[in-house]
Chain A
Amino acid sequence: MTRVSFFPERRTAPEIMEWYASVKRALEAREQSVLTAIDEERATPGEFLGMTADEVSTWFEEHRSELELAAILLLLTESEAVLRVDYLVRVYQRRKDDVSRAFRELYKEKGTHARLDEDLLAIWLDHVPEVKSGVSAYRSLLHLRNWLAHGRYWSPKLGRSHQDYDAELVHDELTIMFAKLTDVLGWA
C-alpha cells in the first residue's frame, strides 16, 4: 500500500479563522481611515479617488463579501482535508471500530479516489446516525463549496443566498458536525 504523504503545513480551521478575522479587522480599519480622510479632505489611496463616503462603504462591503466567500472556501476545503486524512489514517492504522472497518473495505475498492459525499459521508451516516443533521447541513455547504471552487459560473441554488453565508456561521456549522464524528481529529 502506497501511503499518502500528508502536507505538514496545511492551514487548520483555527488558523483560517485567525487569518479571516485579521483581514476583516484590516478592512474595517482601512475603511475608517478612508472615511475620516474624506471628511478631513486629506489624501486617500488612488483607487478611492472621487468616491463619496457611501461609495467607499459599498466598495468595502463588496470586499468584505469576497473575504467571507474566500474564508468559507478555505474552511470547506480544510473540512474535506480533515475527513480525508481521517479516512486514510483509519485505514493505515487498521483501527477496529465500525467506521474504520467500512473505510478499509472502501479503500480496497477505491483507494485514495473515494468520494467525499457519496462514500465517506455515506459511511459516517450508516454507522453514526446521530451525525445525520450535521452531515445534512454539510451537504448543503458542499453545494456552496462546489459553486465557489468552480468559479461561480452558474446561478447557485443553495436554499439561501450566498450572501447569507458568513465564515463564522460556516465554521460553527462545521464545528458542530465534527464534534459528532467520533475520534475525528484536526478540526478544532
Chain B
Amino acid sequence: MGASEALRQVLKEKTERDAKALGAVDWEKRKTERIAAFNKLYSQIELWLTPSVSEGLVKLMREPCELEERHIGKFASESLVLDVGNTKVRFHPVASNVAGASARVDMSSGARSITLVYFSGRSEWCFLFRAAGVQTVPVNEESFTDILKDLLAE
C-alpha cells in the first residue's frame, strides 16, 4: 500500500468510526435529557432560595443562552444567575458531551469556578472536585450552602 493510499485508509477508518458512533446515539433524546437536567438543577436551587428571595437577600434570573454541540448542533438553553449584594454567581450549562456524566454546569463567580456534573443513572447532580484526585459530592441544600459560602467569601 502506497503512502497516499495508507493516508486515505486512515481518514476513511476515522470517518467510518465517527459515523458509526454518531448513528448509534439518539442525539435528540440526549439533548432533551440534558436540557431537563439543567432545568432540574435550577429548579432545585430556586426552591432552596425561595425564602431568601422573599426576604430580598438574593435575586434569581434565568437567562437564555444558545449552546452548540458538534453532534446535536445549536440548541437553546438557560443560565441561572444569582445576584447577591454586588456579586453575581452564574450557573452556565456546558453544551458538550462530558466524560462519565450526562451533563455539566459550571458555577462561577469572578475567576472562581466549580464544576457540577449530572449522573442520569441515579438522577443526581454532584459537585466535582479535582484537588487530590477526583471527588464528587452530591448537590443538596447543605453542600450547596457550603459551596456558595466559599464562592461569596471575599
Interface size class of B (residues with CB under 8 A): 20 to 34
Cβ 8 A contact of B115, one of A43, A50, A53, A56: A50
Asked whether, in the complex, the Cβ of B25 is within 8 Å of the Cβ of A49, the reply is: no
User: A46-B134, A47-B134, A50-B128 are known contacts. Are A40 and B21 too (CB-CB below 8 A)?
Assistant: yes
CB-defined contacts of B136 to chain A, threshold 8 Å: 49
Asked whether, in the complex, the Cβ of A37 is within 8 Å of the Cβ of B99, the reply is: yes
Asked whether, in the complex, the Cβ of A50 is within 8 Å of the Cβ of B98, the reply is: yes
CB-defined contacts of A46 to chain B, threshold 8 Å: 100, 133-134
Asked whether, in the complex, the Cβ of A39 is within 8 Å of the Cβ of B21, the reply is: yes
CB-defined contacts of B101 to chain A, threshold 8 Å: 49-50
User: A46-B134, A50-B115, A50-B128 are known contacts. Are A40 and B100 too (CB-CB below 8 A)?
Assistant: no
CB-defined contacts of B96 to chain A, threshold 8 Å: 52-54
Cβ 8 A contact of A49, one of B21, B71, B134: B134
Is A34 in contact with chain B by the CB < 8 A criterion? yes
Asked whether, in the complex, the Cβ of B24 is within 8 Å of the Cβ of A51, the reply is: no
* CB-CB contacts below 8 Å: A38-66 with B: 38-41, 43-44, 46-54, 56
A50 to B125, CA, bound (A): 12
